[in-house]
Amino acid sequence: MKPLSPVMIVGAGPGDPDLLTVKAARALKEADVVVYDRLVSDLILDLLPPETERMFAGKAARDHHMSQDKINELLVSLTKGGRRVVRLKGGDPFIFGRGSEEALYLAKHNVPFEIVPGITASAGCGAYAGIPLTHRGMATGVRFVTGHCRDGHHLDLNWKSLADPDTTLVIYMGLINVKKISDELIKAGLAADTPAGAIERGTTADQRTILTTLSELPECIENANLKAPSLLIIGRVVDLANELGWNVPAINCDAEVKR
């Protein structure tokens, strides 16, 4: 019996197809079918050979095209049907991408797999916005958290731990709860005038970056009408975007914002 081809769980990066790894590009070229998420850009999908089957399995907040259980079952079914499968995820599969859950399911069902890391949104979007996540004298570390809560649950983070002025805080999926995030961090002791930014569709031609302070972040996002996918970055390093921003001009919150 012919051995099963491993499911390639591939990180597509934050959007710019030039940020794909060589291994990721090769996996896409060799795949029979690609099961992809909502955050995978069209420019990356355009790299697929015309004969490659595409299957959309995207999920957004409160809007699941395909449940996680169905995705898990689909990967096993496709692979055991003899096909070479790529599971394509935005960013990196192991950073808020649920790639580890899918890998565990495959392992439980004796399906081989490989993990192909991708550039996570924090690194890619930060770089394209001119915001280094660490910088000597400004940030001694960085923390990644999710601002999205599961259905029926409240956003319950360790706010005291997160309110560290020497640490850059990167928040994935934080638009819906940005007011609570801002209020709780300030209540936990982080200064209201801590630099903060939000990056919409980072690394793509549609990227928009706003720069403001922690207290003004919710209002600035609302005025700019930022939409998902957007990444929040909070910390002293955000100020460097004024000098290091190279991809698109940033919008300062005190300027009039028009969509």
pLDDT tens digits along 111-122: 999 999 999 999
Instruction: Look at strands 33-36 and 85-89 and give their pairing.
Output: parallel
Same domain, 86 and 141: no
Interatomic CA distance for residues 179 and 10, integer angstroms:
33
Model pLDDT, residue 205: 94
**Annotated catalytic, 37?**
yes
**Has residue 59 got a pLDDT over 70?**
no
**Has residue 16 got a pLDDT over 50?**
yes
Average pLDDT, the chain: 93
Same domain, 108 and 151: no
Q: Which of 23, 32, 59, 239 is catalytic?
A: 59
**Has residue 61 got a pLDDT over 70?**
no
Positive or negative, the Cα torsion across 113, 229, 208, 235? Answer: negative
Same domain, 65 and 183: no
**Annotated catalytic, 183?**
no
Interatomic CA distance for residues 3 and 6, integer angstroms:
9
Strand partners, 35: 55, 87
Residue ending a domain, among 61, 87, 116, is 116
**Has residue 17 got a pLDDT over 50?**
yes
Q: Which of 23, 29, 32, 37 is catalytic?
A: 37
257 in a structural domain:
no
pLDDT tens digits along 30-50: 999 999 999 999 999 999 999
**Has residue 65 got a pLDDT over 90?**
no
The residue range of the domain holding 134 is 121-252
Torsion of CA 81, 85, 89, 91, to 10 degrees: 150
- Residue 190 is part of a domain; what is its CATH number? 3.30.950.10
Question: What's the mean pLDDT in 141-155?
Answer: 82
Interatomic CA distance for residues 36 and 86, integer angstroms:
8
